[in-house]
Structures are given as C-alpha cells and as structure tokens.
Amino acid sequence: MLITFEGLDLSGKSTQARMLLDRLASQGFEVVFIREPGGTDIGEKIRAILLDTENKGISDEAEFLLFSASRAQIVRERIQPALEAGAVVVCDRFYDSSTAYQGWGRGIPVSAVEAINMCAAAGLAPDVTFFLDLPVAEIERRLAIALKEKDRMESNGRAFYERVRNGYLEIARQQPRVTVLDATKPINELHEEVWRRVVARGAELGKHFEKEEA
C-alpha cells in the first residue's frame, strides 16, 4: 500500500506522515518512510541543487526534471522493492507535488507534467493521498514565526503559493484517491481523520490495520 502526504510548505504534512508511520509500526506492520526530494544518495544530491538559494537561475523545466529525476531514483531504489516486500510505504510528497508546484505553480503544461510523472513513478499510483490544506496567509504566518532562512522553493511568494494550492484542490477534485484535510485543525484530530481513511482504504485492499486494536 502506498500512502502519500501533500501540502504547501509548513502545512504539517510531515508531522502527519510521521504519526501515521508510528501508528502502523506500533501495530507490527512493516513500514517504509520516504521523503521527496531526496531519500537516496543520488536524490540527496539533487535535493541540494534544488533547494540551494544560489541556484536562482535554474529554469522551470530543469527544476521539474530534477524533481522527477530524484523521484525516478527513489521509486526504483526504495519504493518498488518495499511494496513488493509487502510493506506500507508512506511518502512525504510524491508526484502530486510536481503537478501542483511545477505544473500549476510554475506554468509547465499539466499534461506534460503528468506524462513525466508516470514515467518517473514507473506507473505507480498512490492508494491514498492526503492534502493538508491551509490558506496561504496562514503559511506566511508560519514561515515568519519559523525564524529560519527560506530555501529557494520557500522564497516564491504569495501568488505562487495561491496557484499551487489551487492546483492541489484541482487534483483533489479529479482524483478520488485524494482526501483534503483542513490543516488548521489540531494535530491529533487530523491524525484520527488520517487513520480512519487509511483503515477504510486498507480494508478495501485486504489490509486490516485495526486487527490489534479491535
């Protein structure tokens, strides 16, 4: 089973991905955590190029293909083998990030992005995707209080983030696998919503996640 978390920067998706992972592991399930971009030796090098504030001159297309290259590597090196071994794979970002950021955000034709996504992902599709949705003003507030230096991707500004958010909402309208969560809710409440959805989808796929809690 492949579960992905999506959202704008600082939406809390990484926290939710970790909480789900811990709960699955505590029930004795084999779990694998994936973070994009990165997650392999090659992917970490690509990640460094993508987030480096010195690389302001990178073209939108080069940026997109680098995210895709990192994904192509992690799919083959880690995700496919884990799924074949029967593990539950939890991804902090997957190809919906490219559709939303590079397609809707940067303006690369979404059909081209989707075609490359399929190639990078070797045709894999997530079984469940969570989009942690936040108003852009709230993202900006969180960025301001995080008191950290912005990486290249985080320096994009409000209009870009609005386009990315709308892109995610459009993906959610088109893809029944996507559940939109209101990321302003408390962490534990969000986790319970995630858990209920995973249990329900797992049951459809013949994986019974609540066996030890029942």
Name residue, tokens 């902090």: 92
Q: Is 55 in the site for ligand TYD (CB under 6 A)?
A: no
Binds ligand TYD by CB under 6 A, chosen from 2, 21, 24, 101: 101
Greatest alpha-carbon span in the chain: 55
Name the segment binding ligand TYD (CB under 6 A); options: 90-98, 138-146, 182-190, 195-203: 90-98
Based on DSSP, count helices (H) and strands (E) in the chain, helices before strands: 9, 5
Residue from 78, 93, 165, 177 in contact with ligand TYD (CB under 6 A): 93
Out of 20, 24, 65, 67, the residue judged to bind ligand TYD by CB under 6 A: 67
CA distance 141 to 177: 30
Asked if residue 131 lies in contact with residue 172, where contact means CB atoms within 8 angstroms, the answer is yes
| Residue 37 binds ligand TYD (CB under 6 A) | yes
The distance of closest approach from Cβ of residue 95 to ligand TYD in the complex, given in angstroms and rounded to an integer, is 7
Tokens of 63: 């940026």
Taking CB under 6 A as the rule, which mask of x and - marks residues 125-164 in contact with ligand TYD? Answer: --------------------------x-xx----------
Q: Pick the closer one to ligand TYD by CB: 153 or 199.
A: 153
CB 57 within 8 A of CB 87: no
With a CB cutoff of 8 Å and minimum separation 6, the contacts of 116 are: 64, 65, 68, 98
**14 touches ligand TYD by CB under 6 A:** yes
Structure tokens at 46: 């690509």
Binding site for ligand TYD (CB under 6 A): 9, 14, 36-37, 51, 67, 93, 97-98, 101-102, 151, 153-154
